[in-house]
């Protein structure tokens, strides 16, 4: 048997050794990641609170309309619109009251058989408690809210309803609801010309001169609370002093000042206000509507019903001088 020389075997071992230990140039070098520069933290813009809507056509006297989805807690009234469907009428009751799954609307004259259309916009306020107070009175008067005002908080309007005595109705001269968080009160008014002697004043001075000589709000600062905040089931008085009596219900909520992004106001002398509001309307804090020449039938009443800041207040025509105003808040939604 022929024995092979041993040299090739030695060369093969050298080759294997070279393969096992790679040259320095081929070794892997771990490079640490480049240090990232610190980026400034940009705060996200506050989101709008969830908006809920209710609408119904052909309702008579009063009744519920379903919200598009249930409320998770409290709410603020962001806008509403109430209109008779068959022309203007005298007024017995009018209102927008919120619930968890419904909004209860009211718009009626003395017999309550006229159809009306209604809509409302509510802003969800999770974790906030809505409270309700009722009072009987006449003219323009204040209701002291029960309890103490929470610290660092403000009031938002959650709903309202005015009602004159059953079987009665009257024209409308002025209607308003104003929340006053600093004084823990709400100021309300529901007026026709009865008790104010407007017509006698107009006969001596002329209608426009009377409006210019004596500002209407100054004439309405009187009135008395008859049943206080405990007004409930008993009948509504036809008269309260020299004013036509009515019962008012106000829904309200206290919210932390930290949730308020901006305050705003609207005002006008005609129903359709030009230009958009300065900021988003999430919660009304008050409103007031006044016919400047005399009392009238009512076709409809509304503010921000479509979310664009417009108001609606008139009888069958638009030739009567009027003025209106409202205050509102833009809120910070959930983050």
Question: Do residues 59 and 105 lie in contact, with contact meaning Cβ atoms separated by under 8 Å?
Answer: yes
The number of beta carbons lying within 10 Å of the beta carbon of residue 207 is 16
pLDDT of 288 higher than 80 = yes
pLDDT by residue (tens digit) across 151-172?
999 999 999 999 999 889 999 9
- pLDDT at position 237 is 82
User: What is the rounded CA–CA span in Å between residue 25 and residue 20?
Assistant: 14
- pLDDT at position 65 is 98
Question: Of 145, 46, 56, whose CA–CA distance to 107 is shortest?
Answer: 56
**Which of 8-17, 23-32, 54-63, 236-245 is most confident?**
54-63
pLDDT of 15 higher than 60 = no
Question: Do residues 223 and 285 lie in contact, with contact meaning Cβ atoms separated by under 8 Å?
Answer: no
Question: Do residues 256 and 183 lie in contact, with contact meaning Cβ atoms separated by under 8 Å?
Answer: no
- pLDDT at position 190 is 96
pLDDT class for 67, splitting at 50, 70, 90? very high
pLDDT of 134 higher than 80 = yes
**Domain ranges in the chain?**
132-331
Q: Which has the higher per-residue pLDDT, 55 or 10?
A: 55
Share of the chain above pLDDT 70, in %: 72
Q: Which has the higher per-residue pLDDT, 303 or 10?
A: 303
- pLDDT at position 233 is 47
pLDDT by residue (tens digit) across 74-100?
999 999 999 999 999 999 999 999 999
pLDDT of 5 higher than 60 = no
pLDDT of 178 higher than 80 = yes
Q: Minimum mean pLDDT among 21-30, 52-61, 289-298: which range?
A: 21-30
Average pLDDT over residues 106-115: 96
User: What is the rounded CA–CA span in Å between residue 95 and residue 81?
Assistant: 10
User: What is the rounded CA–CA span in Å between residue 316 and residue 209?
Assistant: 24
Q: Minimum mean pLDDT among 22-26, 32-36, 202-206, 256-260: which range?
A: 202-206
Per-residue 3-state assignment (H helix, E strand, C coil) for the chain: CCCCCCHHHHHHHHHHHHHHCCCHHHCCCCCCCCCCCCCCCCCCCCCCCCEEEEEEEEEEEEEEEEECCCCCCEEEEEEEEEEECCCCECECEEEEEECCCEEEEEEECCCCCCEEEEEEEEEEECCCCEEEEEEEEEEEEEEECCCCCCCCEEEEEEEEEEEECCCCCECECEEEEEEECCCCEEEEEEECCCCCCHHHHHHHHCHHHHHHHCCHHHHCCCCCECCCCECCCCCCCCEECCEEEEEEEEEEEEEEHHHEEEEEEEEECCCCCCCCCCCCCCEEEEEEEEECCCCECECEEEECCCCCCCEEEECCCCCCCEEEEEEEEEECCCC
- pLDDT at position 234 is 63
Question: Do residues 159 and 97 lie in contact, with contact meaning Cβ atoms separated by under 8 Å?
Answer: yes
Average pLDDT over residues 104-115: 97
Does residue 228 come out as left (phi exceeding 0), alpha (psi in the -120 to 50 range) or beta? left
- pLDDT at position 26 is 40
User: What is the rounded CA–CA span in Å between residue 261 and residue 238?
Assistant: 43
pLDDT by residue (tens digit) across 224-281?
444 444 444 468 888 777 889 999 999 999 999 999 999 999 999 876 665 678 899 9
Q: Which has the higher per-residue pLDDT, 177 or 44?
A: 177
pLDDT of 121 higher than 70 = yes
Look-up: residue for tokens 């008859």?
226
Which letter, b or e, does each residue of 188-202 get, where b requires 16 or more Cβ atoms within 10 Å of its Cβ? bbbbbbbbbebeebb
How does the average pLDDT of the chain come out, rounded? 81
Cα–Cα distances in angstroms (integers) from residue 14 to residues 6, 18, 19, 26, 105, in the given order: 13, 6, 9, 19, 98
């Amino acid at each position: 048997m022929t024995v092979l020389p041993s040299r090739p075997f030695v060369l093969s071992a050298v080759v294997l050794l070279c393969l096992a230990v790679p040259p320095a140039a081929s070794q892997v070098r771990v490079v640490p990641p480049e240090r990232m520069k610190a980026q400034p933290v940009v705060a996200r813009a506050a989101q709008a609170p969830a908006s809920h809507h209710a609408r119904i056509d052909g309702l008579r006297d009063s009744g519920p309309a379903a919200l598009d989805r249930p409320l998770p807690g409290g709410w603020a009234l962001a806008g509403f619109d109430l209109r008779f469907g068959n022309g203007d009428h005298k007024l017995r009751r009018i209102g927008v009251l919120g619930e968890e799954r419904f909004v209860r609307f009211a718009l009626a004259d003395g017999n309550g058989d006229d159809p009306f259309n209604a809509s409302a916009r509510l802003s969800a306020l999770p974790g906030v408690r809505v409270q309700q107070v009722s009072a009987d009175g006449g003219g323009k008067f204040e209701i002291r809210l029960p309890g103490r005002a929470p610290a660092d908080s403000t009031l938002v309007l959650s709903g309202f309803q005015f009602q004159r005595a059953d079987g009665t109705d009257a024209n409308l001269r002025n209607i308003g609801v104003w929340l006053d968080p600093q004084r823990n009160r709400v100021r309300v008014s529901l007026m026709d010309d009865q008790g104010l002697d407007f017509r006698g004043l107009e006969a001596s001075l002329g209608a426009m001169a009377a409006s210019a000589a004596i500002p209407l709000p100054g004439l309405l600062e009187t009135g008395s609370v008859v049943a206080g905040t405990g007004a409930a089931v008993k009948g509504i008085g036809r008269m309260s002093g020299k004013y036509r009596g009515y019962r008012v219900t106000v829904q309200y909520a206290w919210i932390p000042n930290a949730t308020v992004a901006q305050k705003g106001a609207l005002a006008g002398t005609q129903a359709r206000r030009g230009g958009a509001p300065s900021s988003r309307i999430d919660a009304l804090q008050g409103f007031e509507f006044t016919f400047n020449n005399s009392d009238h039938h009512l076709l409809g009443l509304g503010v921000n019903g479509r979310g664009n800041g417009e108001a609606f207040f008139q009888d069958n025509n638009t030739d009567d001088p009027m003025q209106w105003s409202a205050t509102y808040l833009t809120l910070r939604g959930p983050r």
